[in-house]
Amino acid sequence: MTRIATLLVDDEPLAIRSLQQVLRADDDIDVVGVCTNGREAVRAVEQHEPQLVFLDIHMPALGGLEVVRDIASHHAPAIVFVTAFDQHAVEAFSVNALDYVLKPFCDERLLASVDRAKKQIRRGDLGDLSSRLLRLVDATTVAPEKHYLQRVLVHEPHRVRVVTTAEIEWIVSAKNYVEIHLARESFSYRQTMETMAASLDPRAFIRVHRSTIVAIDRIRAVVSEGARGKAVILHDGTRLKVSRAHVDRLMESLSTWASTAGPSQAQW
């Protein structure tokens, strides 16, 4: 009986070592390669055409699911996904009858996965695997998230300051540049208002006026100024005018923000 060509993919050396140590107990497994990132993994799959791949989900640059996307159409090895904490992906694995193990795993759990994979390979019933993998890719591909501005570089006389967009409180336009206001200071920034508005995450920032953008979570109150329209009051008391054209959008953003706001999850 030929041994099963196996590829190990994980960006942490100790995790690779775990796989190696456990798989050593099974003589049928022939580790043909070890990869520490997704790009290497794609190359190694093309090169070695392994029958079995242990694939980490969370890796720099190219994650496990992207690796699947890149290889599934022309090569479909049996894949055992290895993950620490990816609820969304784990659901997709179950739905598509794909095998996965959670970190940290015990020897028995991993060997059970190996047995299952071996049976599939021996029976040759990898037939619909490729389609199941492609379904997985569909299920886990989040609509390509637009990359919003995360930080702006502010050029000062002797250095370049970095300001994360989360520190920005409000922005006001001035001719052909904008003034960025932080909690305690403000900068001029060479950028048009339009470009600025387009590059900021609309879930975090809202335009309240042709010449004003405000960080939604800094707004403490929306007040009426009688016949003069409305204004937003920021947490530090700053009062900014809201133009009639933007009132509806503002209220909408505020209400959705209030129901979805919360600190975002750490990724690793």
What residues line the site for another protein (CB under 8 A)? Answer: 11-18, 21-22, 37, 39, 58, 60-61, 84-85, 102-105, 147, 150-151, 153, 159-167, 183-184, 219-224, 226-227, 233, 235, 248, 251-252, 254-255, 258-259, 261-268
In one-letter notation, the amino acid at residue 2 is: T
- Sign, Cα dihedral of 204, 90, 98, 2: positive
CB of 157 to another protein, least distance (A): 13
> With contact defined as beta carbons under 8 Å apart, do 82 and 17 qualify?
no
CB of 173 to another protein, least distance (A): 23
| Complex with another protein: residue 127 or 229, whichever CB lies closer | 229
| Residue of 109, 44, 54, 45 whose CA lies nearest to 80 | 54
Residue with token string 């791949």: 53
CB of 94 to another protein, least distance (A): 18
Burial of 258 (0-12, 13-18, 19+ CB in 10 A): exposed
| Complex with another protein: residue 139 or 251, whichever CB lies closer | 251
CB of 21 to another protein, least distance (A): 4
89 vs 96: CA distance, rounded Å: 11
189 vs 179: CA distance, rounded Å: 6
In one-letter notation, the amino acid at residue 258 is: A
Between the CA of residue 237 and those of 70, 88, 180, 218, 233, what are the distances in Å? 52, 41, 17, 10, 6
CB of 1 to another protein, least distance (A): 27
| Complex with another protein: residue 51 or 113, whichever CB lies closer | 113
CB of 218 to another protein, least distance (A): 10
| Complex with another protein: residue 124 or 262, whichever CB lies closer | 262
